[in-house]
Amino acid sequence: EIVLTQAPATLSLSPGESATLSCRASQSVDRYLAWYQQKPGQAPRLLIYDASNRATGIPARFSGSGSGTDFTLTISSLEPEDFAVYYCQQRKNWPITFGQGTRLEI
């Protein structure tokens, strides 16, 4: 099973600042990595698929990069609605696995 480790566990920032979230895989997942945002009481929302492709309707301030074992989700100029929990997910090998999440807080 591929283990995804997200860092940091919690990130404290202010609106207007930029956020950099990391996801590291225990073995290469090529570019088969997605990112999700989840707010309290809501279902997750797909942000990025295949490492760097924004999903439909996702603002341009969200960007993904990386390949192999190291990936980054960058949120430029944070908006108040961006404070949430973010998960990465790999589909390179079965079973599909998620990271443990990064909480982005004010």
Partner 1 sequence: EVQLLESGGGLVQPGGSLRLSCAASGFTFSNYALTWVRQAPGKGLEWVSLISGSGNTYYADSVEGRFTISRDNSKNTLHLQMNSLRAEDTAIYYCAKVRSAAAGNYDGFDVWGQGTMVTVSS
Footprint of partner 1 (CB under 8 A): 1, 32, 34, 36, 38, 43-46, 48-50, 55-56, 87, 89, 91, 94-101
Q: Measured between alpha carbons, how far is 19 from 1 in angstroms, rounded to an integer?
A: 29
Q: Which of 31, 38, 15 is nearest to 67 (CA)?
A: 31
Q: Measured between alpha carbons, how far is 104 from 66 in angstroms, rounded to an integer?
A: 20
Looking at beta carbons only, is 16 or 95 nearer to partner 1? Answer: 95
Looking at beta carbons only, is 14 or 56 nearer to partner 1? Answer: 56
Smallest distance from the beta carbon of 53 to partner 1, in angstroms?
Answer: 8
